[in-house]
Structure 1
């Protein structure tokens, strides 16, 4: 490992590997296959970048990195150039002449890491280039990033990833490392099968992101809820807001902008030039809030995203974890905030039921949605539930062989809403039994199924036109739930849907042809009706309980503990970094992370030798920027 350690220190400016990085790097340098599960911000890139450099020094040739996003390729290649490593990418942004130049460099052995999309890798031309490299002994390693894309059970399945089986079939002698931040047991098994990694060693880090605070709220007025959250807790800070629809993205971005927040929209329906411009602004400017569909985010390496918000419930926990994981990559405090409601559950179930997929796939997707709903409805620790979904007990150590080295059971994480402000609970068992009884009675009375609104009207004794039309004021349960509010009954419905006591039935309107979701009893209803299952629910938490935290300076989380003089040095260093990044057409964090600038500001170095020990200051960067950094520090 002496070579790998020296690469880590000289090229990337870090003194030590983190967690299982050292074991992974050693295994891959020695030619072993690996499956790496490591949370966002855990340092996955180093797990193949260090071996790529080390193996090339040993004469093995180029490493091919399969990456799904052009923006990610551009930023990672730019970061490698800043560190003094020869890297390139092949994608649709290159002209014919530029592509030719990269291919010539590849054949001559001038490239250490080459980033390609899966579509490009599977072309006959590129496979032919790889055949030539293999014949010359110049093909060192395949790194498959975002490997969950290969699985139909993953949250971001991409069919083109399936064709990556060619790597084992055609280049069996070349080691492979597959990496992802999100994969439950089913997805993991699919990755192993599809990429033929049965013999690979598994490296599974803890999924825990202790710096992220998880907050989940019931929808009331979600736009105002979001505005209060941003204004009270993240004013002037970068964040991502995820929405289900393109229309919602544009409306929300406009509303936030009108409220003085620097917000931009991003979805696949916008012109390519606009999408690129908005993404560049998000990466290069400070304090931008991106309102987006899930088309935005994978591979975004911006370290200082201070919050990720969901105004609509995602499809599953994998997607939720992947998206929230884009907050706080720098290890500093960040928030994952989500609002959800009964309509989210209904809409997600409708999308599953109406999809053309096979029933087995739909059943798996329903189970994943139920798991996310269970997380949202939870009254105990969110983090423990989230980690349990991925097969991890809170506090367990990383695994080097697929089994935990140590498992420590804990009941509270201290950094989620349920732990920080334990919710008051109420016994919803009586309400649940009355609700289920009403659904049964109205169906018995007319032979039809009805939506949530009508069921609540009957239960609460409201004499509406629809109630009168079907004579539902005559059913025995009419008005027996008048003491329950509509929000309480909606919470009961969500809980019953989550536990399988309630199901959804589709009805087509004879007049309009529209499809409506109605409620019906499901297998789990019997135990609730018989009183064998207790339904515990959280009381609604008023928004006033959220207090605006005191902080010294928005958007400067890395420097919040610096003294006055160091704060000035930090501000000067950020201004200088912005100029350098603009001249290099790169995001500022590719030049130096905020944490590196904060360390420099606190150290107040007077010589290049003092700068050598700063984390993130590799040899190339010290040579390129050291003198300028000392000049800026000396400004005082």
Structure 2
């Protein structure tokens, strides 16, 4: 566990109002001076101005879009105006650690309060908060809403030192979202107790329903809503049918991402452990991560993933929210997620640096059946189940789509787009066929089972009857006498499984009970009568492509470097690694690859020239400038 960063000033019990900090309070000046960037991106400028002026906002911005700057810059600006502390509500300890470490690196006084701290450290940070000298304090929702902390906030507020509330991962407040956390429900107390303190809620993922829930539960009805494009054009989406999924995953990693950092999501803890072990045995360095592991083991694995290159993390959804590692080149799913929000959030952890990345998923009929069963067997209300089924149906429609994946994905979030040319369906349009008659045969056979003996059967027996196979089960139930026996001998077992999977995805068939027996839904009647024509996709392997995210093992940001520039880049990376180890930080927090590549490309000779490189702020220039010039000229 990384220790709390040392602070550059003494800590006392003085709680008098601190004077405004030196430096410009203009957001653009802060962006350049502190973070080393010359201009805001997209809607950042409008959001920062709005929040700095003390107004509420709800921000929806994709992962990697720069959400953190939307509250960090206003926090610094308002602190320099003498307005005191910004409280950042964050659900994850790992995210707090990395955010605070990154802020301290650029000279912004920040801290976190969580369960990893000793009583002495907690009291020390609380004194800093109460003094008003702290710019940002990160805390979990359960701490922010407890009575003791609320009393401290009230004291700050009375003295005019409570500047801003930033609620990160705000979708956690919604029961319709994919990461619902009950502690977030209590955050409405912030508006009730401190109505004049501005609030900024941020998330990377929220459909219309989740968005409305966030506004209501956080009492943001008067907040301005900023919605950025959800498009991540650098991510290539590929969804393939399961056919020995482990081997499919291994081929994908070996063919497209050898030596790259990636995340593999599995549904169960057991599958996580087994997959991580198997990948390691195949020569792919992999670590497991799930909630059942000892907390110390989870932290060690996460720290290794953030600090080392080329590791693959095999995980449940317990891993990932708030992970800022920029050079994750792929996210793979070995099981179907619950909904599009979860899928989008998880795939968004790839390619945060803007380099090409892959979102790869393999799924099968069992995934569809299992997800439906988990919804049906949950203790939730009928209304909740209905909405969750609708969300799953939207994901299945994406998986079975014949057209552009990105168009469908963005459409789910209410965004219009054109075919992207960078998903599997665009790159190699899938073959389709008129599956109406095959579907009618399958639906009719399910109906005949019930008509014959008022019994239901699973997929294997259904396909055996359609293909006319003589099995003990066929003879036991007399199903060779059915009119549908053998009517599907022209299709293979895999083809019939594909038909069934798509009928389930389309909602014409459901799998019920412990043994996943099949039943018809009301919509199956129109198909049986021939009123509906079904165009189904044929099974096809995902296209292989030549790797372009790395050239000769180089990070994406350095793809165009060669000769002396590449040597300078490698020397800078080695220097950065040493600094990161010394400070116990992930390397990208010291400087990201894009900044190092610019240094290597430009080869600045003076501190003034180095200061023009994007990502080099005043504090980092002071701390590392001379060392960097030595590395560049050695």
Among residues 319, 329, 339, which one is paired with 1:306 in the alignment? 329
Query: TM (normalized to structure 1)?
Result: 0.95
Residue 463 (structure 1) shift = 1.0
2:68 aligns to what? 45
CA contact (8 A) 2:287 2:314 kept: yes
* Aligned ranges 1:94-113 → 2 under 5 Å: 94-113=117-136
Secondary structure of 1:462's match? coil
1:570 aligns to what? 569
CA contact (8 A) 2:57 2:224 kept: yes
In the alignment, the residues of structure 2 paired with residue 107 and residue 542 of structure 1 have an alpha-carbon distance, to the nearest angstrom, of: 60
**Structure 1 residue runs without a partner (length 5+):** 395-409, 507-514
Residue 542 (structure 1) shift = 3.6
Q: Render the CA deviation track for 1:468-507: whole Å, top value 9, x for unaligned.
A: 111011000000001111222122122212222112332x
2:297 aligns to what? 274
Does residue 473 of structure 2 align to residue 466 of structure 1?
A: yes
Does residue 534 of structure 2 align to residue 546 of structure 1?
A: no
Residue 452 (structure 1) shift = 1.0
Does residue 267 of structure 2 align to residue 260 of structure 1?
A: no
What is the RMSD of the two structures over their aligned residues, measured on CA atoms?
A: 1.1
Q: Render the CA deviation track for 1:240-260: whole Å, top value 9, x for unaligned.
A: 000000110011101110111
Does residue 174 of structure 2 align to residue 151 of structure 1?
A: yes
Residue 555 (structure 1) shift = 5.2
Q: Render the CA deviation track for 1:374-418: whole Å, top value 9, x for unaligned.
A: 100001000000000011101xxxxxxxxxxxxxxx2x1011000
In the alignment, the residues of structure 1 paired with residue 546 and residue 352 of structure 2 have an alpha-carbon distance, to the nearest angstrom, of: 23
Residue 548 (structure 1) shift = 4.2
Aligned structure 1 segments of 4 or more residues deviating by more than 6 angstroms: none
1:414 aligns to what? 421
* Aligned ranges 1:310-349 → 2 under 5 Å: 310-349=333-372
2:449 aligns to what? 442
* Aligned ranges 1:46-445 → 2 under 5 Å: 46-394=69-417, 410=418, 412-445=419-452
Residue 539 (structure 1) shift = 2.0
CA contact (8 A) 2:110 2:135 kept: yes
Secondary structure of 2:108's match? coil
CA contact (8 A) 1:286 1:555 kept: no
Secondary structure of 1:613's match? coil
In the alignment, the residues of structure 2 paired with residue 287 and residue 232 of structure 1 have an alpha-carbon distance, to the nearest angstrom, of: 15
Secondary structure of 2:38's match? coil
Secondary structure of 2:176's match? coil
Secondary structure of 1:516's match? coil
Secondary structure of 1:60's match? coil
Residue 547 (structure 1) shift = 4.0
In the alignment, the residues of structure 2 paired with residue 92 and residue 113 of structure 1 have an alpha-carbon distance, to the nearest angstrom, of: 18
Residue 86 (structure 1) shift = 0.5
CA contact (8 A) 1:346 1:517 kept: yes
Q: Render the CA deviation track for 1:75-123: whole Å, top value 9, x for unaligned.
A: 0000000010000000001100000000111111110000000011111
Q: Render the CA deviation track for 1:572-630: whole Å, top value 9, x for unaligned.
A: 11110010000001000000000000010100111111111111101110111111111
1:595 aligns to what? 594
In the alignment, the residues of structure 2 paired with residue 505 and residue 113 of structure 1 have an alpha-carbon distance, to the nearest angstrom, of: 51
In the alignment, the residues of structure 1 paired with residue 546 and residue 68 of structure 2 have an alpha-carbon distance, to the nearest angstrom, of: 36
Q: Render the CA deviation track for 1:1-40: whole Å, top value 9, x for unaligned.
A: 9810000000001111001100000100111100000000
Residue 331 (structure 1) shift = 0.6
In the alignment, the residues of structure 2 paired with residue 303 and residue 162 of structure 1 have an alpha-carbon distance, to the nearest angstrom, of: 31
Q: Render the CA deviation track for 1:268-317: whole Å, top value 9, x for unaligned.
A: 11111111110000000000000000000000000000000000000000
315-324 or 2-11: bigger deviation: 2-11
Would you say how many aligned residue pairs link Structure 1 and Structure 2? Answer: 610
* Aligned ranges 1:468-507 → 2 under 5 Å: 468-506=475-513
2:580 aligns to what? 581
CA contact (8 A) 1:287 1:555 kept: no
Residue 537 (structure 1) shift = 2.1
Residue 523 (structure 1) shift = 1.5
1:397 aligns to what? none
CA contact (8 A) 1:182 1:322 kept: yes
CA contact (8 A) 2:56 2:220 kept: yes
In the alignment, the residues of structure 2 paired with residue 505 and residue 275 of structure 1 have an alpha-carbon distance, to the nearest angstrom, of: 36
Secondary structure of 1:379's match? coil
In the alignment, the residues of structure 1 paired with residue 61 and residue 495 of structure 2 have an alpha-carbon distance, to the nearest angstrom, of: 39
Secondary structure of 1:347's match? helix
In the alignment, the residues of structure 2 paired with residue 323 and residue 505 of structure 1 have an alpha-carbon distance, to the nearest angstrom, of: 29
In the alignment, the residues of structure 2 paired with residue 621 and residue 435 of structure 1 have an alpha-carbon distance, to the nearest angstrom, of: 66
Secondary structure of 1:616's match? coil
1:451 aligns to what? 458
Q: Render the CA deviation track for 1:221-258: whole Å, top value 9, x for unaligned.
A: 10000000000000000000000001100111011101
Secondary structure of 1:168's match? helix
CA contact (8 A) 1:234 1:554 kept: no
Residue 263 (structure 1) shift = 0.5
